[in-house]
Structure 1
């Protein structure tokens, strides 16, 4: 059995790693590089911070006038609006004013004053984003509205990379962006699928084996799932939070309240579309274990896992459908 081709690239504030099996190594490498190039290109277009991105331009200009965007981005914004409606507002790309209000863009979170939060909430909501399909333009209904595609952009980029890999004839590959998004094409040699472990927050050493998907030298994970021609997205608050007055605040905002979500610590969703799994894992994180059934009802065949905390705050409450939960 030939060795896999492995590639890596830093983009979207994370390390993307790609494992490819089968065929000529040079052809695999070329296909992999093209896929990673696509992720880097999309970062340039979707970044909240880069002055060259379409999102940055919208945030700077769309409150003053309609701004034309590329057709693919217009369709993505339309889809984001649809997902906001489907999820009851638990997924919303207009959270940027709230993220800024809570200090999450400075990596030094803070609890805002009540009047600051009221002002930020007044600038959030997809009803404030006007999409003109006739000319692919976007306009914001008021000053202060801003978009942040952090809850869907990585999934969209991974999905686009997967399309390019399949067009290049790749039949066995695993692409993952840090710990948040995984795309599986086919299966590794002599395996039914790519075995992925979702780690406990205390188990930072858990890793995915480059050729089989098996976890190596890792403590017992929270959950395990096997992927084949599917995507897994994980939304989590641990490791990205701040503490004020003995209260911990995670970086994921509940758009309905303007407050950091308290529904769960981690949520994972498996679907064929990485764009959808990215968005719906955010929904599940916001709703918590009690929202598992509601989330599952949105897409046939979805698998999902969510870890919350019990009322006493000392133990985890797990809920899952289609995931293996290791026994003690």
Structure 2
């Protein structure tokens, strides 16, 4: 269904990276506007051919198949993503890790909804996880694995990178107003819509229990910014009364259970994608430190209170809606009961 907009706009869409990318281009649907929009969406499709481990012909699939045997040369774009992923691995003390694929496979989240593995299988997968086993040679643009069994998965950063590249194509075409989103998790705003100062978007927490209602947390204004929202309940399964989500803590080898939802506003969707994942893993305990990794970032993390039945929220520059029923955790480690002004 096409959204109702209060201004004329060209709406385009493309399926890629296991989601639907939709582009809003305000203005009359001229041939030049359509051509720029189609080129931006085609760039996302092209990047999927480079970055997806599920594409047998992709550069990442080739790296996974050969890098334990010999250094594998990759394109500048793929190398740039790998370098940025390494930086985020360092900044987050390992909470973000693109070598997570063996653990995702172990827990049944690669192509499935998940299943409980044996402890021995988890430990075996952990043994072949870790960025310390990935050697990046910038001079030769090569990737080498220092241990057999490693596997890269750029699912936690690739969509954001694709958004950034697509938005850059629109900028180069002279477009100053656009909204591009990939599914419900990532969005990039170029300029503002007609007769408005920014694009306004909502942030919701998933329910405290499966089947419950989502909880509105905030409404943000985006202009020349991206926003990424990550949730622990994208893919999940239940066992023994507990929910296990698809975001794995690479340091423990087990599904992260610290946070329900995280949101990141930043200039780069690449950075927002990586940080939103790390905040699900570690945001409950290190929200303030992680939110200061780069200047200008705004973040929000929500989790269930220890006593259960209510939310606790930490925010860094994103004010909550006035009627949010949640305890707000201050960045200094203290608490306050009122939403941020």
> Which TM-score applies when normalising by structure 1?
0.91
Aligned to 2:165: 160
Aligned to 2:56: 51
The one of the two structures with greater contact order (alpha-carbon pairs below 8 A, sep at least 6) is 1
For residue 114 of structure 1, the aligned residue among 104, 110, 119 is: 119
CA RMSD of aligned residues (A): 1.7
Is 1:132 the counterpart of 2:137 in the alignment? yes
Partner deviation per Cα, 1:161-219 (whole Å, 9 max, x = no partner): 010000000101000011111100000011110001013435xxxxxxxxxxxxxxx98
Q: Secondary structure at the match of 1:187?
A: coil
**Greater mean alpha carbon deviation, residues 262-271 or residues 234-243:** 234-243
Aligned to 1:310: 305
The CA distance in 2 between the partners of 1:298 and 1:221, in whole Å, is 27
Distance 1:189 1:140, change over 3 A: same
Distance 1:177 1:251, change over 3 A: same
Q: Secondary structure at the match of 1:57?
A: helix
Distance 1:27 1:247, change over 3 A: same
Aligned to 2:75: 70
The CA distance in 2 between the partners of 1:281 and 1:239, in whole Å, is 13
For residue 229 of structure 1, the aligned residue among 224, 227, 233 is: 224
Distance 1:75 1:106, change over 3 A: closer
**Greater mean alpha carbon deviation, residues 168-177 or residues 104-113:** 104-113
Structure 2 counterparts to residues 124-203 of structure 1, below 5 A: 124-201=129-206
The CA distance in 2 between the partners of 1:232 and 1:103, in whole Å, is 28
Aligned to 1:282: 277
Q: CA deviation at 1:15?
A: 0.9
The CA distance in 1 between the partners of 2:214 and 2:194, in whole Å, is 25
**Is the 8 Å Cα contact of residues 197 and 225 (structure 1) preserved in structure 2?**
yes
**Is the 8 Å Cα contact of residues 94 and 146 (structure 1) preserved in structure 2?**
yes
For residue 296 of structure 1, the aligned residue among 291, 298, 301 is: 291
Runs of 4+ displaced beyond 3 Å: none
Partner deviation per Cα, 1:111-131 (whole Å, 9 max, x = no partner): 221211111111011111111
Q: Secondary structure at the match of 1:222?
A: strand
Unaligned runs of 5+ in 1: 203-217
Q: Secondary structure at the match of 1:312?
A: coil
Aligned to 2:318: 323
Q: CA deviation at 1:324?
A: 3.2
Q: Secondary structure at the match of 2:148?
A: coil
Q: Secondary structure at the match of 2:216?
A: coil
Unaligned runs of 5+ in 2: 1-5, 208-212, 324-341
**Is the 8 Å Cα contact of residues 184 and 227 (structure 1) preserved in structure 2?**
yes
> Which TM-score applies when normalising by structure 2?
0.88
The CA distance in 2 between the partners of 1:169 and 1:319, in whole Å, is 38
**Is the 8 Å Cα contact of residues 220 and 326 (structure 1) preserved in structure 2?**
no
The CA distance in 2 between the partners of 1:44 and 1:310, in whole Å, is 42
- How many residues of Structure 1 are paired with residues of Structure 2 in the alignment? 313
Q: Secondary structure at the match of 1:73?
A: helix
For residue 15 of structure 2, the aligned residue among 10, 16, 31 is: 10
Distance 1:23 1:168, change over 3 A: farther
For residue 249 of structure 1, the aligned residue among 215, 233, 244 is: 244
Q: CA deviation at 1:23?
A: 6.2
